[in-house]
Amino acid sequence: MNDISRLTISAEATLHDALRQLNETGQGILLLVDAAGKLLRTVTDGDIRRLLLAGHLLGDRLGTLPAMDSLVACEGISPDSALELLNERQLDHLPVVDAMGRPVAVLLRRELDQRILLSTPHLGEYEMRFIKEAFRTNWVAPLGPNVDAFEHELAAYVGVSHAVAVSSGTAALHLALRVLGVDRGDTVFCSTLTFVASANPILYQGACPVFIDSEPESWNMSPGALARALADAATVGQLPKAVIVVNLYGQSADMEQINALCDQYGVPVIEDAAESLGATYKGRASGTWGRLGVYSFNGNKIITTSGGGMLVSNDAALIDKARYLSTQAREPAPWYSHSEVGYNYRMSNVLAGIGRGQLKVLEDRVRLRRVIFERYRQGLAAIEALGWMPEAPYGRSTRWLSVCVIDVKRTSITPGEMISVLSRGGIEARHVWRPMHRQPLFDGCAYYPHEPDYSFSDEAFATGVCLPSGSNMTAEQQERVIRVVNSLFQPMKVRLS
């Protein structure tokens, strides 16, 4: 609905012209504009029918239509407010005008009514069974048989020996830093192209983050940048206590290279696999390549417990320590005995029930997300200015989010513009993560770009757009997204349907 020129009509046009244009565009509405392109009123089939019944002729000009106050919204109106307006006035179309009063879009009730979100929970048929069991046995507590089983089942799925289920991915990352002994004044390296949750726990510990850029091949930690950062740190005798490697948007980082570098300096790796559960690297599960791995089951992730996380490792001592810290660091004694600071980070037995059900459909969800990505790639293939986040040859990405890249040399359309045009159509899209070294929160922290004079993450942020990718999105909804993007980039080639 963004090829607005097809819907506009001038006062010089006849009723017959209007009927033909209504028929061709099929939207049930035209926008009557003056010579300056300013919106005068809307014109519907019903308006023309009433004119004909009142004795007007098909050859009469639209200018003879009586003036009418049409419902109009200003640019920037939120989809929710637009829907509210339409409901209030019992209308199906809402023209949107810019500051000059010129139409820029028409919002449709049927599209606003079913907004397409970035990534929503997709429940299966098994979750309720585990939740009911928790209720039946009154295990409605942070601990219980679902928690134990979820830990075992997830550990078996990814192929590690130990796992502890916690209240969030962020909590799992915090515990990972604690069990590796990260403390006030220490340094921790972290991927810069990520969600802030990857880096916040470094600050919880009073440690100092150093941000590492991504490489273009995988959008994940650049081994070249990491090598320079480690060499510099060794020179000044300030090696990091840990390196947090993020696996972005469903794809593993190049873990063998990163591990080899870190091993050289004896620095442990924490894999932030919050976005990559279900992905593989060289045939083995993403999240199992570091000393510790972290998964998230937040509502937007590939599987969810509404909120939750898991810390995994093949090192039993590390997971035992994390489990102990996650339950207020309570020591074995007949009374409450504590000698270090702990947290209330355990997962609830009810939520673990959701997780057990979700784990059963994880493979299917990976398959569906990959299908969605392919449909975007094919549906938008005609746009030369649009590229895609690559899939590195060493593994399987889950395509947790389908991320496209705008070639700024071929178009003046920006990610911000694309996101707001989609938003007007009731479609949620997002910028790629704004890099951590650009966040005011981390002002003054060191940063190592991919090449000494080239920062990949800045480019990804400036050009990338995450498209709706939920595994429960229908093919029809996805067609809607594809249609809006196509009409934005090639308005002349697309017919309104």
Site string for ligand PLP, 147-176 (x = CB under 6 A): ---------------------xxx------
Tokens of 216: 């273009």
Phi, then psi, of 490 in degrees rounded to 5: -135, 70
Q: Which is nearer to ligand PLP, 198 or 259 (CB)?
A: 198
Q: Which stretch binds ligand PLP (CB under 6 A): 37-45, 195-203, 346-354, 473-481?
A: 195-203
Binding of residue 280 to ligand PLP (CB under 6 A): no
Greatest CA span in the chain, whole angstroms? 95
274 binds ligand PLP per the rule CB under 6 A: yes
Binding region for ligand PLP (CB under 6 A) out of 84-92, 125-133, 272-280, 337-345: 272-280
298 binds ligand PLP (CB under 6 A): yes
Measure the CA–CA gap between 198 and 35, rounded to whole angstroms: 54
Report how many residues bind ligand PLP under the rule CB under 6 A.
Answer: 14
Q: Determine contact, residues 408/462, Cβ cutoff 8 Å.
A: yes
Rule CB under 6 A: is residue 195 a binding residue for ligand PLP?
yes
Tell the smallest beta-carbon distance from residue 436 to ligand PLP (Å). Answer: 11
For 346-381, give the DSSP string.
Answer: BPPHHHHHHHHHHHHTHHHHHHHHHHHHHHHHHHTT
Verify binding: residue 296, ligand PLP, rule CB under 6 A. yes
- 326 near 348, Cβ under 8 Å? no
Shortest Cβ 304–ligand PLP spacing (Å): 9
Q: Which stretch binds ligand PLP (CB under 6 A): 215-223, 268-276, 435-443, 457-465?
A: 268-276
- Distance from CA of residue 419 to its chain's centroid? 13
Q: Is 275 in the site for ligand PLP (CB under 6 A)?
A: yes
Residue closer to ligand PLP, measured from CB, 361 or 466: 466
CA distance 262 to 219: 19
The two three-digit tokens of residue 33, written as one number: 């504009």
How far is it, in rounded angstroms, from Cα 113 to Cα 288? 42
Give yes or no for residue 303 binding ligand PLP (CB under 6 A).
Answer: no
* Residue 272 interacts with ligand PLP (CB under 6 A): yes or no: yes
Among 4, 197, 292, 325, binds ligand PLP (CB under 6 A): 197
For residue 490, what is the DSSP state?
-
Work out how close the CB of 168 gets to ligand PLP at its nearest, in angstroms, rounded to a whole number.
Answer: 3
- DSSP, collapsed to helix, strand or coil, labels residue 1 as coil
Site for ligand PLP in 96-115 (CB under 6 A): none
Q: Which residue is nearest to ligand PLP (CB)?
A: 169
Instruction: List the strands of the sheet with 292-296, edge to edge.
Output: 162-166, 309-313, 292-296, 269-272, 242-246, 187-191, 208-212, 447-448
Q: Which residues bind ligand PLP (CB under 6 A)?
A: 168-170, 194-195, 197-198, 246, 272, 274-275, 296, 298, 309
